[in-house]
Amino acid sequence: MMILRPIQQSDYSALVKIAHESGHGFTSLPNNEELLQKKIDRSVSSFAKSASQPGDEGYLFVLEDSETGEVVGTSGIEAAVGLDDAFYHYHLSKVIHSSRTLDVYKAVDILTLCNDYTGATELCTLFLKDGYRKNNNGKLLSKSRFMFINQHQQRFASTVIAEMRGVSDEKGDSPFWQWLEEHFFSMDFPTADYLTGIGQKVFIAELMPKYPIYVNLLSQDAQAVIGKVHDNTRPAIQLLKNEGFTFNGYVDIFDAGPTVEAKVDNIATIRNAKTLTVEIGDNQGSTNVLLANDQLVDFRATVAQLDIACNADTIILPEPVANALHLQAGDSVSVAKI
């Protein structure tokens, strides 16, 4: 059984392995052992904290194979971005160049540096090991965060965003960054990405062009990847689109990958989730359902095949599933079809 839970101090070595495997372009998991330890410390502190509004909390989850004890993936939530460090994006929009005298009318795409998502909740740090990208594991790793947000809405903003990994090759080279590097920076993409991941963002404000960039002045390769995702990220962005997330023209300043957004109340899993009372017994059904308890420090989520009556107020959980979710008969559990 695959169980999603908050990260613990004992997961340090597993997180180091995941950070190494995730490769270039995965800014939120820098291959830096000291910073990874700080991420765990911050997450443990955030789960233990009493919060009535979103602040500087960062919640990191891991996906564990209960049979082997192996940690096979991770995902996270930032309660509110940009409150301490500026949170940058480029916004893709248009300007009109026209002249009635010359009978000229032309729409031109521009990229404008902005901080429009300051204060939004961010879904982040989603990574699943190769051998486990099957059997709804990716959906569990991603969608369980919506269950957590729904159960603890005071801790999160009304707008939720997700920065999707942009196009880069196996060496970590980004066509979009190559153009920026040539004209404004003197460092390669992996270096810039790593510095951002470890919190050294001041160079962005110092070196980034302050005025809008005309897209048609970029190289053809750079233009071609604006708003496009890395091949490995396609399933993740499709999942979010199915949840109701939309792309509104905001792209990453390094690789031009898209940022998608949704209002909490419009997220499909949150809209469709039901709170049911637990009964313990046999229930070998055919419907894959996402299950999550309503706890904080002891939050648990999993996927199981069960039968659920349409208008029932209760759900029968097999004892192993209930135990894995730290649930007893009479407890409440959140349920959503996966």
Q: Tell if the pTM clears 0.95, that is, is over it.
A: no
Classify residue 130 by its DSSP letter. Answer: G
**Closest alpha carbon to 249 in 220, 289, 215:** 215
* Coil vs helix vs strand at 151: helix
Active-site annotation holds for 230: yes
pLDDT at 26: 63
| Residue of 24, 89, 97, 230 with catalytic role | 230
pLDDT at 23: 66
pLDDT at 281: 93
Cβ neighbours of 148 (radius 10 Å): 23
Q: How far apart are CA 166 and CA 251, in angstroms?
A: 9
The rounded average pLDDT for each run of 10 residues, N- to C-terminus, in the chain (338 residues) is 97 92 69 89 97 96 95 97 89 92 92 95 93 92 97 97 90 85 77 67 70 94 96 90 97 93 97 96 89 97 90 92 97 94
Q: Residue type for 259, please?
A: T
DSSP 206-245: HHS-SSPEEGGGS-HHHHHTTT---GGGHHHHHHHHHHT-
* Coil vs helix vs strand at 297: coil
Residue-range domains of the chain with CATH: 2-89+114-269 (3.40.630.30), 273-337 (2.40.40.20)
**Closest alpha carbon to 144 in 22, 52, 239, 49:** 239
Question: With the C-alpha atoms ordered 318, 319, 322, 323, is the resulting torsion angle positive or negative?
Answer: negative
- Tell which phi-psi region holds residue 177, choosing left (phi > 0), alpha (psi between -120 and 50) or beta: alpha
Cβ neighbours of 189 (radius 10 Å): 25
Q: How far apart are CA 317 and CA 259, in angstroms?
A: 37
**In this structure, what token pair is assigned to residue 84?**
């301490």
**In this structure, what token pair is assigned to residue 263?**
């209002």
pLDDT at 328: 96
**Closest alpha carbon to 269 in 144, 136, 127:** 144
β-pair type (314-317, 246-251): unpaired
Phi and psi dihedrals of 330, rounded to 5? 95, -15
